Amino acid sequence: MTDFDATTGIADEALSGETLADTGPAAVPEPSGGFKFGGLPAALLVTACGGGGSTPGPPVVVVPPPSPPPPPPVSITRAEASRFLGQATMGFGRADIDRVTAIGYEGWLDEQFNTVRPTTHWDWLVANGYAVTANRDNETGFDPVMWRQAIASPDQLRQRVGMALLDFLVVGIGGVATSWRQFAVAAYVDVLMDGAFGNFRTLLTNVSLNPAMSYYLTYNGNRKANPATGAVPDENYARELMQLFTVGLVRLFADGSVQMSGGRAVETYVQDDITGLARVFTGFVLDSSDNSTPDRFRRPLTVNAAQHETGAKTFLGTTIPAGTGAADSLRLALDAIFQHPNVAPFISKQLIQRLVTSNPAPGYVQRITAVFENDGTGARGNLRAVVRAILLDTEARSAAIAGTASFGKLREPIRRLTGWARAFNASSAANTWPIGDTSSTANRLGQSPGRSPSVFNFFRPGYVPAGSPIANQGLVAPEFQIANEPSVIAYVNYMQALVGLSTGDFQPDYSQILPLANDAAALIDEVDLLLGAGLSQGTKSFFMGAVNSISFTANNGPRNRVNTAVLLTLASPEYLVQK
């Protein structure tokens, strides 16, 4: 059963289950330190032409006036830098905060846009010995490579945006029914990471020709129609490409609001459009039958011309003429989709939701839509310009707006772990990154990178917790779809183990914060800053009482006081809701 969500133009599957009215049981400190939990050139030469057939005069040098001096940099507090980094990274440390305060938001963004990935997921798997026959039919190496880059890679903004893209350009390893699937999905995530600051049109091509996506949405080896048997092309990718990846179900205005006619939302496409577009995605196959190594899963799909539909293909008001080959059909189809007026608001709003706030104001969406449509140079779909605009927009940076009840988003579980890990320099000495699959809602995070259970992700952009104050205000809360009482308790218990005991050789480094252990106020202030929690003074006072209940001179007293401050912050509503 599918229900339509007019807020986002995406179909919601019928959902059930409990939702949160609060963040679950309070954390109660134990005396031991544990817890119980319920241009132009510089000079322009102009040739002067005289009148009446006179000889041209000498060149006249026109020198533009000097540029005005740049405005003085806006002073950024450490708290403001922390809040910015909470939106722009998978987590950050004190050095990152200091860097933002020193060079400003734009300077930091420029540095990050120009930071080269030290290694790809694929190359790391190969370098660390995972490309062996014993791993051909399993997922070994996938969780370590995903967690390692999210936690340790210096290209923090790319990691953040790449993971945001994975939230709606979804491939989950569990649905990739092929050998070497850890390599196939790693190669897909590399496509998103490498394209995070590129052009969305280029990204569409690379996604469409990616082997993992072709297995996930079942168009690998897709064949043209067979009139004799009645077989028709698989429509899976054609449908999701439109519904989830580009245009959505209903027409949108530039501000993301739904276009209505006769009291009903105007549909973006109909079944005939899916059928017509599905004919494009026929004849695409892996470029090799050699399965002794994973290499073919890194290379783009190629074409088996005999399987491609050569008849006309009509969809979204576009017709690709009969006789057009597969590569040209794909190019023309993606060009047509990319130019659809829905793409800019549809993608812009979802990126805002993933980075900044679940309920952006229409004006915010419209401003980002305008940048998507034209980055200032005439280019459409420039993701670097879009990301910059999202993070520097007044709505993202205004403290006053951040203080309103409708602003912000629930911090998804993956970022809670990576935020803690980056704040306290967690590392894996043996390079094993033994965090594993954390998607269990019973005893782990309820979410794990690259392990979405379906193409609809762990949570939907238009999800509304039924019967909640959020619903009563007409707001959405996507991440609440995976938040309920058991999952919150599981999260806190799991993080208690990581904060206090760690797992395998994956260990935090609290050496920079331990000197504050005997000063509860300073300790909590620093933890608050490093986690971007934005704790109120009342909450800090409560936490101070818990920390001070643990003797500094007791066995492991300093470490227990640090553990307490960190874990209480990670469990607090003011941390869980990113503002």
CA distance 410 to 22: 12
Q: Is the pLDDT of residue 158 over 70?
A: yes
pLDDT score at 357: 98
Q: What is the DSSP letter of 16?
A: -
Contact 296, 286 (CB under 8 A): yes
Q: Report yes or no on whether pTM surpasses 0.95.
A: no
CA distance 224 to 407: 48
What is the average per-residue pLDDT within 534-561? 97
* Per-residue pLDDT band at 503 (split at 50, 70, 90): confident
Q: Which two tokens stand for residue 514?
A: 């331990």
CA distance 500 to 27: 15
Residues in the chain: 579
β-pairing, 27-29 vs 35-37, is: antiparallel
Contact 9, 269 (CB under 8 A): no
Taking all residues of the chain, what is their mean pLDDT, rounded to a whole number? 90
Q: Is the pLDDT of residue 72 over 70?
A: no
Task: Note the pLDDT tens digit of each residue in 205-224.
Answer: 999 999 999 999 999 999 99
What is the average per-residue pLDDT within 299-310? 97
What is the average per-residue pLDDT within 346-365? 98
pLDDT score at 69: 55
pLDDT score at 501: 81
Q: Which two tokens stand for residue 234?
A: 């698989």
Q: Is the pLDDT of residue 38 over 90?
A: no
What is the average per-residue pLDDT within 401-412? 97
Task: Note the pLDDT tens digit of each residue in 306-338.
Answer: 999 999 999 999 999 999 999 999 999 999 999
CA distance 326 to 357: 40
What is the average per-residue pLDDT within 72-86? 89
* Per-residue pLDDT band at 504 (split at 50, 70, 90): confident
Task: Note the pLDDT tens digit of each residue in 47-67.
Answer: 233 333 334 444 444 455 565
CA angle 286, 289, 295 (to 5 degrees): 70
What is the average per-residue pLDDT within 358-379? 98
What is the average per-residue pLDDT within 429-440? 96
Task: Note the pLDDT tens digit of each residue in 247-273.
Answer: 999 999 999 999 999 999 999 999 999
Percentage of the chain with pLDDT > 90?
87
pLDDT score at 458: 97
* Per-residue pLDDT band at 91 (split at 50, 70, 90): very high
* Per-residue pLDDT band at 73 (split at 50, 70, 90): low
CA distance 208 to 310: 19
Task: Kindly write down the DSSP assignment for every residue of 357-423, as one continuous string.
Answer: -SS--HHHHHHHHHHHH--SSS-S-BHHHHHHHHHHSHHHH-HHHHTSTT--EEPPHHHHHHHHHHH
pLDDT score at 497: 94
Question: CB under 8 Å to 429, separation ≥6 — which residues?
Answer: 505, 507
What is the average per-residue pLDDT within 140-153? 98
CB atoms within 10 A of CB 301: 23
